[in-house]
Amino acid sequence: MSSIINFRRGNAYETLHFPEDAPTHECGIFGMWAPQRDVAQETFFALVALQHRGQESAGIAAAAEDGLHLYRATGLVGDVFTPEIIEHLYGHAAIGHVRYSTTEDRAGDALNAQPLMIRYQHGELALSFNGSIVNAAALRRHLESLGSIFQSSLDCEVFAHLIARSSATILEDALQEAVAQVQGGYAIIFLTADRLIALRDPHGIRPLTLGMLGGHYLVSSESCAFDTLGGSYLREVAPGEMVTISAQGLQSRQGLTPAVPPSLCAFEHIYFARPDSDIEGVNTHFMRKRLGAALVQEAHLEVDVISGVPDSSISAAIGYAEASGVPFEMALIKNRYLGRTFIKPTQEQRELAVKLKLNPVRKLVEGKRVLLVDDSIVRGTTMRYIIHLLREVGATEVHVRITSPPYRYPCYFGIDTSARGDLIASNRSVEEIREAIEADSLYYLDIETITRLMGNEGLSLCLACFNGNYPVSVPGSH
């Protein structure tokens, strides 16, 4: 049992991170209040269902009569927990977390695993957080200047300190004060001995959903966790709503702050969520098929083979194929077992990493015009190499269709896309991007198309990564 802080990283090898040419996932959160059930065991299964939202660390905190019990560690949910650990996490309620680091330093940073747990003047408190607090640094400096000591580099620890310093005696009041000071996009679940509180930022940038299981309440980033447990979807936690679940049932506070228009992160539907999840009541697989179909209307082209980049773009490619009448194909086969495979950090082995993960089916591609559907292009290096691979096995043309607009502006609300300079679209025209990735043609969906298609389903979006209009003003971003 050990902890390492602040280590330099100087290894001659690196673990092969899946080179998705897409924004990296962020976090998944889950909570349940179910005195008659095995809450840790079910939270464990829910986290397995949410694993696509974060593979770096996992944790569960459970509330029992003798206090809160916590276990968290780096690794996949199935590796982190053992039956013995789950048995120790008994109780009447639990919250869980899966995490993909949103910061630079990912080196086994066990201290930044969640749930975060504190003991403060009113007892014990655990929290699971998804998103980002844009004024976290300023709040932290202010709290430190008052003498607070932070135990992690997590944004969400400012919530803990604001609560700990509040003079309010009711937790919900302290939280309401905190929400007024915190700016950002987040969904958060708190657990104390006697209640579970779910909270979503006023803009509703990150999703949070309520479900039911055998008469008990569930809270989850995505509805697929409810399906896994055999539960059912109830409703969304509304932007700016605080929901308390306790022995007294469910209570809600709304309008914690002055009303603002909702701004759900557009990438939840485009890329993050599992296809079988509903986000704000809209099924993700269907929405992706619609985005794919829209590409046919806007920029169809006669080709021989239509393929998605597995796995995230399969839904969109099916939509494109269905709308175009050209059969869907699997031109790229994905290796499902990469795990902790390591490579040397050389250009040669980085290219080999793409091949280890994605191998084209030569007989499908040889002598053919190929149209690739993908959800986004972030740095462009992987896409360029995939196109290279396809040409190597004989593709005569490779066309690229993207189900989102160019990703031009960094996200400050929980998605890890390095600095703006790394974004291939930040200072390039579509034609320049096409040249950079060496495609025969390239087309992105218009912002208007996204807005219209999702708007038809009642979604009001944050599109800041496409247009730079951040729903919350970000310190130092201009």
Active site residues per annotation: 27
Interacting stretch for a copy of itself, rule CB under 8 A, among 185-193, 316-324, 401-409, 462-470?
Answer: 316-324
Per CB under 8 A, contacts with a copy of itself among 122-141 are 141
Tell me the C-alpha distance between 12 and 15, whole Å: 10
Token pair for 338: 């990469």
Alpha helix segments (H runs only) across 214-333: 224-229, 266-267, 284-299, 314-324
Per CB under 8 A, contacts with a copy of itself among 192-231 are 224, 227-230
Site for a copy of itself contains 279 (CB under 8 A) = no
Site for a copy of itself contains 254 (CB under 8 A) = no
> CA 470, 384, 104, 23 torsion: positive or negative?
positive
Tell me the C-alpha distance between 224 and 229, whole Å: 9
Site for a copy of itself contains 360 (CB under 8 A) = yes
Per-residue contact flags (x/-) with a copy of itself for residues 329 to 358, judged by CB under 8 A: xx--x-xxxxxxxx---------x--xx--
List all residues 6 or more positions away from 341 whose beta carbon is below 8 Å from its beta carbon.
15, 16, 356
Interacting stretch for a copy of itself, rule CB under 8 A, among 131-139, 291-299, 327-335, 407-415?
Answer: 327-335
Q: Kindly state the number of chain residues that form the binding site for a copy of itself, as judged by CB under 8 A.
A: 98
- Which helix H or strand E contains 311, and what residues bound it? none
Place of tokens 């007989």: 363
Per CB under 8 A, contacts with a copy of itself among 36-75 are 45, 48-49, 51-52, 55, 66-74
Sole binder of a copy of itself in the list 170, 362, 455, 456 (CB under 8 A) = 362
Sole binder of a copy of itself in the list 22, 80, 178, 208 (CB under 8 A) = 80
The CA dihedral of 219, 224, 230, 236, to the nearest 10 degrees, is 40
Sole binder of a copy of itself in the list 93, 196, 265, 364 (CB under 8 A) = 364
Tell me the C-alpha distance between 186 and 221, whole Å: 11
Closest distance to a copy of itself from the beta carbon of 339 (Å):
4
Buried b / exposed e along 151-186 (16+ C-beta atoms within 10 A): eeebbbbbbbbbbbbbeeeebbebbbbbbeebbbbb
Closest distance to a copy of itself from the beta carbon of 342 (Å):
6
Per CB under 8 A, contacts with a copy of itself among 228-247 are 228-230
Closest distance to a copy of itself from the beta carbon of 227 (Å):
5
Give how far the C-alpha of residue 82 lies from the chain's centroid of Cα atoms, to the nearest Å. Answer: 25
